[in-house]
């Protein structure tokens, strides 16, 4: 019995700002086992498309390469976590299991099972908060035992809690004794001697186009991206502004968002938060106090996590106390499938849905547009359809934040009672965000030759224009799935009737101000 400590990676796929790593290496006289267990659920692998799985595997390979520099490796195997750790105890007498907190309720059964097994065999479990800025339970206690029902109340509560902790220092990895698995593990579990490919885990390419923009997973890429992002923020702060992509998002540029890296924990949210805050203070030399507004998207992430932590039904309508029970209609014919596949006949919607499948990514302004189109804007279908699709294909989709966004945009929660006034138009928003139509031409090549005057409404093009563009509507590219203007008006009327029936809002989440709605929906004056 050699003893030993285990670092169990789930999210938090990094070495920087990793308090669990510090704890696992407190005693360097015993073997160290860094482990990732493919249990069919961890890190969002229950519902997963090719791009998401590839991003995760690249993050694991990056960790493996970093450990190899110090004579070790990341142990990757398939199995049930509690079985794996029990066997490590039987073979090595491991004494300590360390991991980063996964606060969402869907991980509770897994973690409770592991903690229970560790109690039985006398292995200490050490859990640390570093995937969120604040521990959600701490925020809830500070708010009197209930989650804050508005974003402004959340801001008020975390002001009382105080600043989030700063990142912990990097760990000196030299001189570590890495544990290795005995042969019996190869007989009892599927052990990967090198990082598996998505196909090894039963995930295959569908319609993803691997020639499109590629997002690269892993801590090394994430830290480089953060430095590039901070350079952009520095310029923006110097000009007296902030949120550089908010007013004029670049729909065609290279990947710059850090949200996939934050979602998998390749980048520490605390490192990014404090880097931005410190940069703001440095640029303004203390003349302006930095505030939550410069890191607002990170705070929204925290808010959604906190709202979900004690609500296991947060990702569905049924029995979800913060979600309005809107009577969405059942999909008719192939309308849901046409939305999923990008065949609605609305080029801006179709470009976005195809980009999602091809690259695993959408700009937030575009996400809101396709979500509004599916739900209260046009098709009047439940947000649950959209959530499940995004959870499979969107690189940065985690359960709490993604469900929160879908509830907001569909008017189901996090907004004023059934107020569909800020419904994104699938034609006008595209014209504003990409007047030249290049975004549509990239992802919907059937209409690439359509003149700019008709690129967002090709069904209005005269037949001779369609012929010259080699795109006959109804033949080469579908006619609109619905009359959007008629559908939008019908939905507004339905919302109005529902509002009168409900009279007043049940205790669901809603925004604090009109400005908050505009910022969330990326709607400018």
Half-sphere exposure in the Cβ direction for 119 (13 Å, CA): 6
- Please classify residue 213 by burial: count the beta carbons closer than 10 Å to its beta carbon, then call 0-12 exposed, 13-18 middle and 19+ buried: middle
**CATH T-level topology, domain 1-129:** Rossmann fold (3.40.50)
Q: 298: annotated binding-site residue? A: yes
Secondary element (H or E) of residue 9 = strand 5-9
- Is 166 one of the annotated binding-site residues? no
The class level of CATH for 334-521 reads mainly alpha
The DSSP element (H or E) to which 60 belongs, if any, is: helix 50-68
pLDDT, residue 517, reads 54
Q: Which residues pair with 98 in a beta bridge?
A: 7, 126
**Both tokens assigned to 224:** 């480089």
pLDDT at 522 over 60: no
Residue 397 has pLDDT above 90, yes or no: yes
Q: What is the pLDDT of residues 54-80, one digit of tens each?
A: 999 999 999 999 999 999 999 999 999
Average pLDDT of the segment spanning 369-384: 95
Instruction: Give pLDDT tens digits for 327-365.
Output: 999 999 999 999 999 999 999 999 999 999 999 999 988
Is the per-residue pLDDT at 1 higher than 60?
Answer: no
pLDDT band at 525; cut points 50, 70, 90: very low
Domain residue ranges of the chain, discontinuous segments joined by +: 1-129, 220-309, 334-521
36 annotated as belonging to a binding site for a ligand: no
Query: Do the bridges between strand 190-192 and strand 32-38 make them parallel or antiparallel, or are there none, so unpaired?
Result: unpaired
Q: What residues contact residue 23 under an 8 Å CB cut-off, 6+ apart?
A: 5, 96, 98, 126, 128
Mean pLDDT confidence for 10-25: 98
- Check the annotation: does 238 bind a ligand: no
**Backbone torsions φ then ψ of 477, nearest 5 degrees:** -145, 140
d(CA 72, CA 180): 8
Residue 368 in contact with residue 424, Cβ under 8 Å?
Answer: yes
How confident is the model at residue 523, as a pLDDT?
Answer: 46
Torsion of Cα atoms, 237 then 239 then 243 then 244, to 10°: -120
CA 182 to CA 430: how far, in whole Å?
58
Q: Is 303 annotated as a binding residue?
A: yes
Tell me the mean pLDDT in the region 26-31. 94
Q: How confident is the model at residue 379 (pLDDT cuts 50, 70, 90)?
A: very high
Could you give phi then psi for residue 245, rounded to 5 degrees?
Answer: -95, 0
302 marked as binding residue:
yes
For the stretch 292-317, pLDDT in tens is 667 888 998 999 999 999 999 999 99
301 annotated ligand binder: yes
Could you tell me which CATH number the domain at 220-309 has? 1.25.40.80
Number of H helices, E strands in the chain: 21, 6
- Average of per-residue pLDDT across 113-141: 97
Mean pLDDT across 488-510: 74
State residue 120's pLDDT score. Answer: 97
| 398 known ligand binder | yes
**β-sheet with 190-192: strand ranges across:** 124-128, 96-100, 5-9, 32-38, 75-78, 190-192
Banded pLDDT at 25 (limits 50, 70, 90) = very high
* Across 398-425, average pLDDT: 79
Token pair of 350 as six digits: 């179709």
Segments in 285-344 forming alpha helices (H): 296-308, 335-341
> Is 128 marked as a binding-site residue?
no
The pLDDT value given to residue 185: 97
Dihedral sign, Cα of residue 208, residue 454, residue 363, residue 494: negative
Other C-beta atoms closer than 10 Å to the C-beta of 187 total 8
Residue 407 and residue 387: Cα distance in Å, rounded? 9
What pLDDT, in 10s, does the model give residues 152-210? 889 999 999 999 999 999 999 999 999 999 999 999 999 999 999 999 999 999 876 66
Percentage of residues of the chain with pLDDT beyond 70: 90
Tell me if 396 is assigned to a ligand binding site.
Answer: yes
């Amino acid at each position: 019995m050699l003893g030993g400590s285990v670092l169990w990676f789930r999210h938090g796929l990094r070495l920087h700002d990793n308090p669990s790593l510090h704890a696992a290496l407190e005693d360097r006289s015993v073997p160290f086992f860094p482990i990732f267990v493919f249990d069919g659920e961890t890190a969002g692998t229950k519902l997963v498309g090719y791009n998401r799985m590839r991003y995760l595997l690249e993050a694991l390979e990056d960790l493996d390469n970093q450990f190899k520099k110090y004579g070790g490796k990341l142990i990757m195997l398939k199995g049930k976590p509690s079985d794996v750790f029990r066997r490590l105890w039987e073979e090595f007498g491991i004494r300590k299991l360390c991991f980063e907190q996964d606060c969402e309720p869907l991980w509770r059964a897994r973690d409770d099972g592991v903690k229970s097994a560790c109690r039985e065999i006398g292995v200490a479990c050490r859990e640390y908060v570093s995937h969120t800025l604040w521990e959600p339970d701490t925020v809830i206690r500070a708010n009197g035992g209930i989650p804050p029902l508005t974003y402004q109340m959340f801001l008020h509560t975390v002001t009382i809690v105080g600043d989030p902790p700063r990142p912990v220092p990097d760990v000196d990895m030299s001189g570590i004794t890495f544990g290795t698995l005995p042969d019996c593990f190869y007989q009892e579990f599927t052990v990967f001697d090198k990082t598996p490919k998505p196909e090894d885990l039963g995930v295959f390419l569908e319609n993803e186009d691997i020639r499109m923009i590629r997002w690269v997973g892993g801590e090394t890429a994430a830290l480089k991206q953060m430095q590039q992002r901070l350079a952009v923020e520095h310029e923006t702060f110097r000009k007296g502004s902030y949120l550089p992509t908010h007013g004029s998002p670049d729909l065609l540029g290279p990947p710059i968002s850090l949200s996939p890296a934050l979602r998998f924990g390749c980048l520490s949210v605390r490192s990014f938060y404090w880097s931005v805050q410190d940069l703001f203070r440095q640029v303004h030399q203390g003349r302006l106090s930095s505030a939550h507004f410069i890191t607002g998207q990170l705070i929204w992430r925290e808010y959604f996590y906190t709202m979900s932590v004690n609500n296991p039904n947060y990702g569905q309508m049924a029995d979800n106390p913060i979600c309005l029970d809107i009577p969405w209609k059942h999909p008719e014919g192939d309308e849901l499938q046409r939305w999923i596949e990008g065949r609605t006949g609305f080029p801006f919607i179709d470009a976005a849905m195809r980009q999602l499948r091809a690259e695993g990514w959408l700009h937030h302004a575009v996400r809101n547009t396709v979500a509004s189109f599916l739900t209260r804007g046009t098709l009047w279908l439940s947000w649950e359809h959209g959530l499940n699709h995004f959870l499979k294909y969107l690189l940065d989709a985690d359960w709490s934040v993604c469900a929160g966004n879908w509830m907001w945009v569909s008017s189901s929660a996090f907004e004023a009672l059934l107020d569909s006034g800020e419904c994104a138009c699938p034609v006008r928003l595209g014209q504003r965000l990409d007047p030249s139509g290049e975004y549509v031409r990239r992802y919907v090549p059937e209409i690439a030759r359509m003149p700019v005057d008709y690129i967002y409404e090709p069904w209005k093009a005269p037949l001779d224009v369609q012929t010259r563009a080699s795109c006959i509507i109804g033949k080469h590219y579908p006619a609109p799935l619905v009359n959007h203007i008629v559908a939008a008006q019908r939905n507004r009327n339905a919302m109005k009737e529902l509002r009168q029936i409900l009279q007043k809002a049940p205790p669901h989440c809603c925004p604090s101000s009109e400005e908050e709605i505009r910022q969330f929906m990326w709607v400018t004056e």
